[in-house]
Structure 1
Amino acid sequence: MARKSESQRDGNASGENVVELAQFRSGQKAEPLPITFHRRELDAILWIYGRMVGEGEWRDYALDHMKDRAVFSVFKRAGEMPLYRIEKNPKLAAKQGAFSVTNTAGLVLKRGHDLRQVLKVFDRNLKLVEK
């Protein structure tokens, strides 16, 4: 029967130093969590997305969560540039509003504090048609 070395008896077969998890965590700064859309915000966005898919305007989307912002990108085709970007940037919340809708050219179509008001940019204007 082979004798176990001291490192194998401690459960560390590679012979490296074992560090307690609490000790490891205290030595590192916690990296900030990425910015995300809350459930109600995502529900409002997906409601608009579903309506536009039903009308044949949009076909695909991408969701990005970064350190400084969350972005919901809308595509006509998956291989193209996004038609629109719905962004949440908390740094702008006290100034211009955290939410914005940007088109392909980078022009901000609407910005504000309330997401539902910002998403009204996608509402269709009714036109009177005469016969």
Structure 2
Amino acid sequence: MTDQPDFPRGSKPEDGSVVVDLNQYKQNRDPLPITFHRRELDAILWIYGRMVGEGEWKDYAIDHTKEKAVFSVFKRSGEMPLFRIEKNPKLAAKQGAYSVVNTHGMILKRGHDLQQVLKVFDKVLKLVD
């Protein structure tokens, strides 16, 4: 027995089946989730650390889905997130892949550059009850 396939890739044996690379099949069937890259996460965590130091934020959560990556920040862990920092690559060619969304779903800032989008937190943003 050898490591070589019985049929070359893409060729059809007599019964009509096709030899497919398993890695290619898995990626087509279950695509990898969208994630934040190291530099993006570094910029977000820098803002998060500053806001924790000011006593504004207490907790965070990171979600990676097939469509977008979301960094949510909380005042208390049992509540709705105060803000969501989202990365949606499908919007990269249109309005920009990055956005900051408040509790009510309103987009506060959107753009192509994460550093510019995160400047929305340079202003004093407070939740109005």
Q: TM-score, normalised by structure 1?
A: 0.74
User: CA 1:93–1:79 in 2, change beyond 3 Å: closer, same or farther?
Assistant: same
Tell which structure's C-alpha radius of gyration is larger.
1
1:1-131 alignment, distance < 5 Å: 25=22, 28-30=25-27, 31-124=30-123
Taking every aligned residue pair, what percent have the same amino acid on both sides? Answer: 77
Q: How far apart, in 2, do the equivalents of 1:87 and 1:80 lie? A: 19
Runs (5+) with no aligned partner, structure 1 = 1-21, 126-131
SS of match in other structure, 1:62:
strand
Q: How far apart, in 2, do the equivalents of 1:70 and 1:26 lie? A: 23
How much does 1:25 deviate?
1.7
Question: How many residues end up aligned between the 2 structures?
Answer: 104
Question: 1:19-43 CA deviation, whole Å, 9 max, x = no partner?
Answer: xxx9782794422110000000000
Question: 1:35-63 CA deviation, whole Å, 9 max, x = no partner?
Answer: 00000000000000000000000000000
Q: TM-score, normalised by structure 2?
A: 0.76
Q: How far apart, in 2, do the equivalents of 1:93 and 1:26 lie? A: 27
Runs (5+) with no aligned partner, structure 2 = 1-18, 125-129
User: CA 1:102–1:26 in 2, change beyond 3 Å: closer, same or farther?
Assistant: closer
Question: 1:74-119 CA deviation, whole Å, 9 max, x = no partner?
Answer: 0000000000000000000000000000000000000000000000
User: CA 1:29–1:74 in 2, change beyond 3 Å: closer, same or farther?
Assistant: same
